[in-house]
Amino acid sequence: MIDIETLEFAELKEENIPDLLAIYNYYVLNTTATFHEKPLALSEFRELVVFVDSKYATYVIKDAGKICGYILLTQFKKREAYDRTGEITIYLKNGSSGKGIGKAALSYVERKAREQGFHTLMAIICGENERSIYLFVRNGYKKCAHLQEVGRKFGRWLDIVVYQKLL
């Protein structure tokens, strides 16, 4: 475990984007945590983490001043009826899992979501991503959907599961 007191959360700055892209592209190349199959370019990644609407944000996670991950609070769907539903996504630098960073990041983004007036948060996860599923379940998220064989990566069909938390 890390010392949670050394963790910092800050809104994304332009100079953070290359570091976050490196974290993300690791998952693209080595895991099914994301269904992108090829590494993203900086401009493509920027579209995923920079938002026009200020209620959505990417938060950089730092441990003792060094970037160890990021968490996004994004739009669930582009319709007015979903304005109080957010989607959250977290990526930690390879080797940073299992240290309490994810739990602290979820707590932080949930607080931010409440401040923004969100009612519910959704996490959409590859069905074989056991670590991520465990993180969300352990932090009060309930499974609300299981979609079979909706993505294909590394020559295999993959399920996605959806976890939800009412704030």
Domains held by the chain: number: 1
Beta strands 66-75 and 7-11 are unpaired
Distance CA 122, CA 57 (A): 15
pLDDT one-digit tens code per residue, 10-57: 999 999 999 999 999 999 999 999 999 999 999 999 999 999 999 999
pLDDT one-digit tens code per residue, 122-150: 999 999 999 999 999 999 999 999 999 99
Contact criterion met (CB below 8 Å) for 136 and 123: yes
Decide if 59 is inside a domain: yes
Decide if 145 is inside a domain: no
Residues of the domain holding 101 = 4-123
User: What band does 72 get if pLDDT is binned at 50, 70 and 90?
Assistant: very high
Q: Model-level pTM greater than 0.85? A: yes
Decide if 53 is inside a domain: yes
Decide if 60 is inside a domain: yes
Q: Write the CATH number for 64.
A: 3.40.630.30
Structure tokens at 110: 């949930």
Say what the pLDDT of residue 71 is.
98
Decide if 58 is inside a domain: yes
Residues sharing a CB contact under 8 Å with residue 87, sequence separation 6 or more, in sequence order: 72, 73, 74, 75, 76, 121, 122, 123, 124
